[in-house]
Chains A and B, each alone.
Chain A
């Protein structure tokens, strides 16, 4: 839906219906649309999670290092403690 919306065609829906009901497809589609829009918006605001993976309250500067454009491995960050 985000990268190649033209690929979400009748054949794609036929494939989806092998696994999901029409009601579930609507739930998924609306969920994807909502997230597609908001994550792009949030990305422009440059804010990051308040907490590190180990539960510490961290500054936005530190959080950007953890979750930003070039995040350290979250698994590694969690294992450091």
Chain B
């Protein structure tokens, strides 16, 4: 059972937040549970929802790769909520569950077909909260062989933001709304 009840959708009057909720529902990440909880802190709800959507679905890094990274992080965070959500956009681009699982658990295996750039990005997500000490100058030098500095910042900020929100949702004991759950 979730520790903090979300607000009812009809109690959210802010048109900007309502538009972001609709955008999230169309994408599939997040469903309306996350913003209805955030709506209890209205000054934070809009910028946090905007950052969540923008960092995931826009930018200059392949959305499918970021979707795998997002799920890898959520599984590491043991957050059932975000781990259970799937991007409809990534699915439409051809991302399937097997590829997600390979990206989470076996991306270093050459037989899985991840490029060196993708491996670096997945390693970045994998190590950030497992052992940030390994993300040192040599690691960033390796990243720069495959990604621009702008893309590295995009990836780093994406990892930081999504993991933080995943830990928050884990702390609340949240799970996806019934129609959205994919994990477990």
Contacts and interface: CB of A to CB of B under 8 A. Distances in A.
Interface of A: 1-2, 5, 8, 10, 13, 22-23, 25-27, 29-38, 40-46
Nearest to A38: B160
A29 to B, nearest CB: 5
Given A10-B3, A26-B4, A27-B41, A33 B168 contact: yes
B167 A1 contact: yes
Given A5-B170, A26-B38, A38-B164, A44 B4 contact: no
Q: Report, nearest first, the 10 A-B pairs whose CB atoms are least far apart.
A: A37-B164, A33-B168, A41-B160, A37-B160, A33-B164, A27-B41, A44-B135, A26-B40, A23-B40, A8-B171
B162 interface: yes
Interface string B35-79: 001101100100010000000000000000000000000000010
B95 interface: no
Contacts of B40: 22-23, 26-27
B104 to A, nearest CB: 19
Interface in B147-184: 156-157, 159-168, 170-173
Contacts of A23: 40-41
B12 interface: no
B106 interface: no
A6 to B, nearest CB: 9
Nearest to A42: B160
Contacts, number: 89
B128 A34 contact: no
B161 A34 contact: yes
Given A22-B4, A33-B168, A40 B129 contact: yes
A26 B172 CA distance: 9
Interface in B5-33: 5
6 contacts: A29-B172, A30-B41, A30-B44, A36-B163, A41-B160, A44-B132
A23 B167 CA distance: 18
Contact of B41 (A5, A26, A45, A46): A26
B62 to A, nearest CB: 20
Nearest to A40: B132
Given A5-B171, A22-B40, A30-B48, A37 B132 contact: no
Instruction: Select the residue from A2, A30, A40 with max chain B CB neighbours within 10 A.
Output: A30
A70 B132 CA distance: 18
